[in-house]
Structure 1
Amino acid sequence: MSLPTETTTRTTSRTTTTTAATAPASTPAAGPTAKAAGIAAAVRQAVADGLLGADRPLAGFVDVQGVRDSVDGLHEAFGEVPDVLHTFAAKACALVPVLRLLADAGMGCEVASPGELRLALDAGFPPARIVLDSPAKTREEIREALALGVALNADNLAELDRIDELRPTGSASVVGLRVNPQVGAGAIGAMSTATAHSKFGVALRDPGARERVVEAFVRRPWLTRLHAHVGSQGCPLPLIARGLATLHRLAEEIDDRVGHRRITSLDLGGGLPVNFADDCVTPTYAAYVAALTAAEPALLDGRYRLVTEFGRSLLAKNGFLAARVEYVKDAGGRRVAVTHAGAQVATRTVFMPEAWPVRVSAYGPDGTPKEGPVLPHDVAGPLCFAGDVVAHERPLPELAEGDWVVLHDTGAYYFSAPWAYNSLPRPGVYGCLRQEDGGGVAFATVRTPQTVREISVESGLAHADALLESSA
């Protein structure tokens, strides 16, 4: 089987627990063509099954076994840690069937809004395995979490005052406080949450802040968790580890001040950056564990229960988007392929292309990998603004109307977080199920394609005359 341009090897996040000295920087490839062949088989079958076609020009796909393999790799990497709850950051793929798959694989869930909390509960996560993080929780949101027994991390000291008022006696909720270790930014400022002026958490290095944090714990016996988040994409492991090591030192200080054990758990918020350049999984979860151990050897010794909040690193490489090429033209000496995948699904890629590049590969109308002379293409989207381009001057076999392009590593934040500009319908999303007998790929519907009628209903159709009546 020939392979599409820019598709390389397949790998998963499966790793083994290693020491700081031996942790690999990346996961070895499972085979030279396994991932490319799997995607090609899925695209070809999706076209044959009608999931992709002229009337369905865009769809997202999730590799179900790949997700399970990534979760297994996470658990294996932390295999020597005595007590850890791994939660999935719902924002990375806010689709109930995907969340239910993760719950079945042994994950908890981190949520950051009432909507995400509802999705987590509907997906089957027990409240005790859900953590609520948000910088703007209302009193009602706090009240609901405390009533359900959902863990929550207060973003600031004022929020602790609200919890003082609302917390019922005997609440089962674990309550923590988010601190900002202020260790600096990674390569993407907007994705860095431990800068001097970050909107998140209590700025720990500001004058008097550390003492106020310690006093907050001294005065509240029910406040037992510390939480920090440095960032993920664009943040190197040493920076992440340095920020999270701060939690352990602060916990020891709080326990010393209280005079007995007060802190019972540390929430290591945030996740890992993802390599979008090729199929290699780097950094691995084992490398993350090694970096934490190097920054603070006692962090993983079991004194404190750990909570993790991985999202992108579990899903990104286990999903892809396939989009139909509608037109091809030349402009200013460039070949432009106008497709149905633009900023409505690849918002970050379109607006921050240097920070969020995606790989693109080409397939023919029947879903088989495209061959032929390679030309530089601009791969554009369908939205009505000039910047709606997902890739510039990419070398691809010459594209034509009816071909397909695949955007790789888009399982997190792409098809599950659409932008409603131009009122384009949200694409269908399908789980790819590998057949044991080698019989190809079967699909499970994760989300049905949105219809234009549903867009109209969502946009106020039931109240179409409301403004006319009010002005009569």
Structure 2
Amino acid sequence: MEATTLAFSASPFVLPTQPNRPAFNSRRPATRVATKMIRQSVKTPAAPPGEQLAITPNNFIAQTLRAAIADGTLCSASPVAIFYDLQVLRHNARALRAAFPDNTLHAFALKAAPFPRLLEYFKEEGIGAECASVVELACSEAAGIPSENVIFDSPAKTNEQLMYALKRGFHVNADSISELKAIAVLRDECQSTSTIGLRVNPQLGSATIAETFTASKACKFGEGLREKRDDIIAAFERYPFVSCVHVHVGSQGCAVDVIADGAKAAAELADDVNSRVGSKQVHTIDIGGGLSVDYFSDVACDFDTLPRLLRERCDGLFKYRLMTEFGRHMSAKTAFMAAQVTALKQSGGKTYVICQVGADVLMRPVYQPEKWAHRLETYDHAGQLKQSRSAVVEVGGPLCFAGDIIARDRELVMPTVGDWLVVRDAGAYTLSMHMRHTSQLAPPVFGVERDGSRCLLKRGETIEDSVRFWSA
């Protein structure tokens, strides 16, 4: 890909021995509980000293910032940007592929970060695309991902959307038995070559974040396996073109053993279907995604524990071809976001740090701070990590409502106006959840190599773009 070389130093990138990790203030017990909950579902050992592939070192961030500030990419006219560490992204893709059988289709969940140019890097590593809308399907096409490596999942598909996918030969996971009836008609109309799956809900219990858990007893996703097992098996008999069982139990806050239990339930269902029909009608199991990320440290993502648990608990799963749909685990820790500090103020005994990013890009930390949080670090106006005195502050964004606070009672190295706040682990569910309130412009997104070269993954939104969005 075309890249721009930046003026980085030639020194090797190594991890700092004492990374700057702003702590959560002890006066915030809810936030401390959230930290504990997420840590309990991530059991990855710390990366060894000097590891350069799996995590982004602080001096890489500093050099990226210095170069972006020096060439005007970051400035008061462009006060927010997201930077992906392409080395970590490649490492994650290769680690995932190495952990599973060679014939597994790994599809990156575009809802985490749907940039076509980012998808091109995944494509180069043999990763496909999991899409939850027609626009995401179009993004996968723009990235040149082969149709056989694209999965279409959505709990609400119109006939037109289904036809879009079926005509192109994408794999389609139906979310209900009634949707299979529509697919049966449409696939004949267009003589589709698409493979078809049915999503089931194994109804396993609960997780630490209910809003992202999709295997509870009552859930809008899939057909309930405990309640409708006979109906589900009958649907496979009625529609012999359905060759895949799809299960996706959740996302952040979902323990890895629960994901394994969901995959085991899918394999048992596939065995029952094949036994009932007397042939290997089901030959593929889509185990979904859902691996959590440790947002509170530099612990690298772990792609080995899940397949190990799967072999221990359900080795029969591996007689089927597998699909995976990891998003957050693939990209969250591959990027950081920089936002300029524009004001400091005191109010009601609290110190407020006002910066140029808020709920427009960090929606979940604003609306559910007890469940979602990102590490914040302070860099000076030239892009150097600050390590001076810290204070407990509120970090507010630019949106025009009082709750636009991305960090509450957070211990932070004090910035001055013009400094930069770095939001760590910002590679998933940040810009992809962009909110239009007060028409804040979507920031540019860049990919950065360890040698200092940089490419544009997504241009920043302009005032004209925003006006066009709101216009007739």
- TM-score of the alignment, normalized to the shorter chain, above 0.5: yes
User: Residues 2, 204 of structure 1: CA spacing in aligned structure 2 closer, same or farther, 3 A cutoff?
Assistant: closer
Checking the alignment, whether the CA contact within 8 Å between 1:320 and 1:409 is kept in structure 2 is: yes
The match for 2:170 is: 150
Query: What amino acid sits opposite 1:123 in the alignment?
Result: A
Q: Distance in 2 between matches of 1:196 and 1:291?
A: 23
The match for 2:335 is: 319
Checking the alignment, whether the CA contact within 8 Å between 1:432 and 1:443 is kept in structure 2 is: yes
Q: Distance in 1 between matches of 2:246 and 2:387?
A: 50
Residue among 341, 352, 359 paired with 1:343: 359
Matched, 1:296 2:314: yes
Q: Deviations over 1:106-153 (max 9, x none)?
A: 101110111000010111111111010011111111122111111101
Residue among 140, 148, 155 paired with 1:128: 148
Q: Deviations over 1:191-232 (max 9, x none)?
A: 0001111100001111xx111111111122211110011012
SS for the counterpart of 2:58 is helix
Q: Distance in 2 between matches of 1:27 and 1:261?
A: 42
SS for the counterpart of 1:285 is coil
The match for 1:85 is: 105
1:27-426 aligned at under 5 Å gives the runs 27-31=46-50, 35-78=57-100, 81-168=101-188, 171-206=192-227, 209-282=228-301, 284-300=302-318, 303-426=319-442
Q: Distance in 2 between matches of 1:293 and 1:74?
A: 16
Q: Distance in 2 between matches of 1:162 and 1:434?
A: 49
User: Residues 372, 229 of structure 1: CA spacing in aligned structure 2 closer, same or farther, 3 A cutoff?
Assistant: same
User: Residues 331, 394 of structure 1: CA spacing in aligned structure 2 closer, same or farther, 3 A cutoff?
Assistant: same
Query: What amino acid sits opposite 1:92 in the alignment?
Result: A
SS for the counterpart of 2:323 is strand
Q: Deviations over 1:250-308 (max 9, x none)?
A: 111011100111111000112310000101025x11011112223212212xx210000
C-alpha displacement of 1:434: 1.7
Identical amino acids, percent of aligned pairs: 36
Q: Deviations over 1:66-89 (max 9, x none)?
A: 1111101111112xx252111100
- TM-score w.r.t. structure 2 length? 0.89
Query: What amino acid sits opposite 2:219 in the alignment?
Result: S
Q: Deviations over 1:284-335 (max 9, x none)?
A: 11011112223212212xx210000000001000001100000001122222
Q: Distance in 2 between matches of 1:410 and 1:24?
A: 21
SS for the counterpart of 2:244 is strand
User: Residues 332, 29 of structure 1: CA spacing in aligned structure 2 closer, same or farther, 3 A cutoff?
Assistant: farther
Checking the alignment, whether the CA contact within 8 Å between 2:262 and 2:287 is kept in structure 1 is: no
Q: Distance in 2 between matches of 1:194 and 1:4?
A: 37
Q: CA RMSD in A?
A: 1.9
Matched, 1:450 2:461: yes
Q: Distance in 2 between matches of 1:221 and 1:30?
A: 53
- TM-score w.r.t. structure 1 length? 0.89
Checking the alignment, whether the CA contact within 8 Å between 2:44 and 2:299 is kept in structure 1 is: no
SS for the counterpart of 1:310 is coil
Checking the alignment, whether the CA contact within 8 Å between 2:22 and 2:411 is kept in structure 1 is: no
Checking the alignment, whether the CA contact within 8 Å between 1:426 and 1:449 is kept in structure 2 is: yes
The match for 1:19 is: none
SS for the counterpart of 1:313 is helix
Checking the alignment, whether the CA contact within 8 Å between 2:22 and 2:410 is kept in structure 1 is: no
Query: What amino acid sits opposite 1:289 in the alignment?
Result: P
SS for the counterpart of 1:434 is coil
Q: Which runs of 5 or more residues in structure 1 are unaligned?
A: 9-22, 436-440, 464-472
Q: Distance in 1 between matches of 2:379 and 2:309?
A: 40
| Count of residue pairs brought into register by the alignment | 435
Q: Distance in 2 between matches of 1:219 and 1:112?
A: 26
User: Residues 27, 224 of structure 1: CA spacing in aligned structure 2 closer, same or farther, 3 A cutoff?
Assistant: farther
Q: Distance in 2 between matches of 1:140 and 1:32?
A: 48
Using the TM superposition, name which of 215-224 and 148-157 deviates more. Answer: 215-224
Checking the alignment, whether the CA contact within 8 Å between 2:82 and 2:443 is kept in structure 1 is: yes
Q: Distance in 1 between matches of 2:180 and 2:69?
A: 53
Q: Distance in 1 between matches of 2:240 and 2:79?
A: 56
Q: Distance in 1 between matches of 2:133 and 2:339?
A: 31
The match for 1:430 is: 446
Using the TM superposition, name which of 26-35 and 423-432 deviates more. Answer: 26-35
Checking the alignment, whether the CA contact within 8 Å between 2:66 and 2:384 is kept in structure 1 is: yes
User: Residues 24, 349 of structure 1: CA spacing in aligned structure 2 closer, same or farther, 3 A cutoff?
Assistant: closer
